[in-house]
């Protein structure tokens, strides 16, 4: 379904720009794609231009088009189905393809785009299993193209300050890391309504979500993960757990039901954007975004513990739980000269009026960083939180990706395929371990990872 192929000019700006704009095509135009399409069409229109959109769902493609035109008054873009991805590249000649689809399909678009001469920016996780990781490494070696992973979490003020402090050597050599990530009954529950609840599609939260956290640790301690041991289970969501607690599920989805007093309900008709993005387009692919979090067919975990040994000898002790009354991160680094403690809680932003869609409720981050040196008084390091999506990290990564002359990144936050693969492999190894009960050596899953060298090599 190629439409509007006649459209030769693209979003915004006059053709008299002195800068040659970089051309971007996007595959996967759901909620997250906007983090890329909006800044290209608005803030970075002098240096970037959107040239084509591709998705498996033609209704969502048409909505993405309407939304961009309504917001930025840009001309119609050519639209392509998933089967027309190669055709999109041939016809629109992008410099860079942005991959924003459901996770398990990332690899096929990454590889095809590179084979056709494009660089790629992919959303996290880079991919969902070891075989696909190896296919991506092979494609990079064959094509020599660049692949960036949009690890926006690195760009937050708190994580950046942690990196700066650890790199300064203030706690000496890092011997041990303890990290707890908490997802609440709003954001955390939402993974159990969507495609993320199918392991085949998302790799489970060990891959889909924890790739962010494993990437932070890999970057903070600049080491390569070697051995993983993990335990995980579905402890809260899902039919059996609900039944055990006396909750009996009568409907597969929330929209169209009487959801009075159900704190887990999501009504897609209550929010116009959710309705237009998902409900109105179910007729094209059957995808329901509001499935019951206590349904029987959920096959991912919601309570997970992982141990990782790194090539430096450092051990990470990590947990993720997704049904909590609060959300945020607690991480502690135990070093040869002291200890660094970082916490960042995500709380509702009282300065923004409550949203009818609980998922659009604006939150803010409350960070705290304490250094506890050996034989000296502990002290706090102040952190200035930035404004913008994901604790201010989205605007910074957008600037780095799309500005003509982005500021030099002093904190090595730009992430390439090595970082994408190293973090995904920890989750992939954990998934293997959930089944086997045995520790997993990462080189057994991906022999090439050690060969790509230190994780900082790319930067």
Tokens at residue 115, please?
Answer: 């084979």
Smallest gap from residue 82 Cβ to ligand NAD (A): 4
Q: Does 57 bind ligand NAD (CB under 6 A)?
A: yes
Cα distances (Å, whole numbers) of residue 428 to 129, 412, 433, 440, 443: 6, 25, 9, 10, 12
- Interface pick for ligand NAD out of 21, 22, 23, 28 (rule CB under 6 A): 28
Among 174, 156, 158, CA closest to 166: 174
Closest residue to ligand NAD, judged by C-beta, is 30
Q: Which is nearer to ligand NAD, 10 or 193 (CB)?
A: 193
Q: Does 331 bind ligand NAD (CB under 6 A)?
A: no
Q: Does 59 bind ligand NAD (CB under 6 A)?
A: no
Q: Does 193 bind ligand NAD (CB under 6 A)?
A: no
- Interface pick for ligand NAD out of 10, 21, 107, 124 (rule CB under 6 A): 124
Q: Does 237 bind ligand NAD (CB under 6 A)?
A: no
- Interface pick for ligand NAD out of 3, 7, 31, 93 (rule CB under 6 A): 31
What lies within 8 Å, CB to CB, of 297 at 6+ separation is: 197, 198
Please, which residues bridge with residue 178 across strands? 317, 332
Distance CA 303, CA 233 (A): 6
Distance CA 282, CA 255 (A): 13
Q: Does 152 bind ligand NAD (CB under 6 A)?
A: yes
Tokens at residue 439, please?
Answer: 């520790």
| Three-class DSSP category at 402 | helix
Smallest gap from residue 99 Cβ to ligand NAD (A): 8
Task: Please identify, among the stretches 9-17, 26-34, 364-372, 419-427, the one whose residues bind ligand NAD according to the rule CB under 6 A.
Answer: 26-34
Number of residues that bind ligand NAD (CB under 6 A): 23
Task: Assess contact for 382 and 293: CB atoms under 8 A.
Answer: no
Distance CA 118, CA 332 (A): 40
Q: Does 189 bind ligand NAD (CB under 6 A)?
A: no
Task: Assess contact for 29 and 60: CB atoms under 8 A.
Answer: yes
Strands (E), 192-287: 225-233
Q: Does 174 bind ligand NAD (CB under 6 A)?
A: no
H-helix or E-strand spanning residue 61: helix 58-72
Smallest gap from residue 28 Cβ to ligand NAD (A): 4
Q: Does 27 bind ligand NAD (CB under 6 A)?
A: yes
Distance CA 149, CA 96 (A): 13
- Interface pick for ligand NAD out of 13, 40, 51, 56 (rule CB under 6 A): 56
- Interface pick for ligand NAD out of 49, 55, 215, 267 (rule CB under 6 A): 55
Return residues touching ligand NAD (CB under 6 A): 27-33, 55-57, 60, 82, 100-103, 105, 123-124, 150, 152, 208, 390
């Amino acid at each position: 379904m190629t439409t509007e192929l006649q459209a030769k000019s693209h979003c915004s700006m006059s053709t008299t720009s002195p800068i040659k704009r970089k051309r971007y095509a996007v595959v996967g135009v759901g909620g997250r794609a906007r983090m890329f399409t909006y800044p290209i069409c608005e803030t970075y229109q002098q240096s970037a231009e959107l040239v084509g959109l591709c998705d498996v769902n033609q209704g969502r493609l048409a909505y993405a088009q309407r939304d961009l035109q309504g917001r930025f008054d840009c001309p119609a873009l050519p639209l392509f189905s998933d089967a027309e991805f190669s055709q999109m590249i041939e016809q629109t000649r992008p410099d860079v393809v942005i991959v924003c689809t459901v996770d398990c399909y990332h690899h096929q678009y990454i590889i095809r785009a590179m084979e056709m001469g494009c660089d790629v920016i992919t959303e996290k996780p880079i991919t969902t299993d070891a075989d696909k990781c190896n296919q991506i490494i092979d494609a990079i070696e064959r094509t020599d193209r660049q692949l960036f992973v949009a690890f926006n979490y690195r760009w937050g003020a708190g994580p950046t300050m942690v990196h700066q402090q650890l790199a300064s050597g203030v706690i000496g050599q890092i011997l041990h890391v303890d990290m707890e990530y908490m997802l609440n009954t709003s954001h955390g529950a939402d993974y159990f309504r969507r495609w993320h609840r199918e392991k085949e599609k998302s790799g489970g939260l060990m891959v889909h979500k924890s790739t962010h956290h494993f990437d932070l640790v890999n970057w903070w301690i600049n080491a390569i993960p070697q051995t993983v041991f993990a335990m995980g289970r579905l402890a809260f969501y899902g039919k059996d757990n609900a039944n055990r607690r006396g909750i009996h599920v009568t409907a597969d989805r929330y929209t169209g039901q009487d959801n009075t007093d159900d704190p887990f309900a999501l009504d897609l008709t209550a929010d116009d954007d959710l309705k237009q993005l998902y409900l109105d387009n179910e007729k094209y692919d059957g995808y329901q975004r509001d499935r019951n979090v206590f349904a029987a067919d959920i096959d991912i975990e919601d309570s997970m513990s992982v141990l990782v040994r790194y090539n430096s000898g450092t051990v990470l002790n990590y947990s993720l739980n997704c049904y909590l009354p609060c959300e945020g991160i607690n991480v502690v680094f135990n070093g040869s000269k002291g200890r660094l403690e970082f916490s960042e809680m995500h709380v509702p932003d009282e300065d923004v009026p409550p949203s009818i869609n609980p998922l659009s409720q604006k939150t803010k981050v409350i960070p705290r960083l304490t250094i506890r040196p050996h034989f000296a008084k502990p002290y706090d390091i102040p952190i200035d939180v930035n404004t913008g999506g994901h604790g201010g990290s989205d605007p910074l990564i957008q600037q780095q990706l799309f500005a003509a002359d982005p500021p030099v990144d002093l904190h090595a936050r730009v992430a390439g395929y090595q970082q994408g693969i190293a973090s995904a492999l920890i989750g992939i190894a954990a998934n293997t371990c959930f089944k086997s009960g045995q520790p997993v050596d990462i080189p057994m899953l991906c022999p090439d990872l050690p060969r790509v060298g230190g994780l900082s090599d790319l930067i």
